[in-house]
Amino acid sequence: MTIRITPAETPGHRVLKIDGRLQGPDLPELERLCTEGPEALTLDLSGLRGVDEPAIIALRRLRAQGARLIGVSAYVALRLEGTTR
């Protein structure tokens, strides 16, 4: 298993828990889940074990569009800020 995305919803809010390694081929499914359901979106990245560059770009875009990112590891945080490759 590369990635598991588990959605949970409360009225007006959606949380997507992401476990595993998020890579480019997984992005269409992530983007589909992000656009379904309530407008408020939180991505729980506490189970994220790795990301490739296309995934970092997608996470940056989702954050810029208002998604809240929680459980972000130090490494992923550095990648999101463009500090390391």
Q: Give the chain's domains with CATH numbers.
A: 3-80 (3.30.750.24)
* β 3-10/68-70 pair status: unpaired
Tokens of 69: 């990112």
Amino acid 84: pLDDT: 56
pTM of the model as a whole: 0.90
> Which band of pLDDT confidence, cut at 50, 70 and 90, is reported for residue 1?
low
pLDDT at site 10: 86
CB 80 within 8 A of CB 63: yes
pLDDT digits (tens, 9 = 90+) for 2-53: 899 999 988 889 999 999 999 999 999 999 999 987 789 999 999 999 999 9
Contacts of 19 (CB under 8 A, 6+ apart): 3, 4, 5, 6, 47, 48, 49
Can you name the residues that pair with 11 across neighbouring β-strands?
none
**What distance lies between CA 3 and its chain's CA centroid?**
11
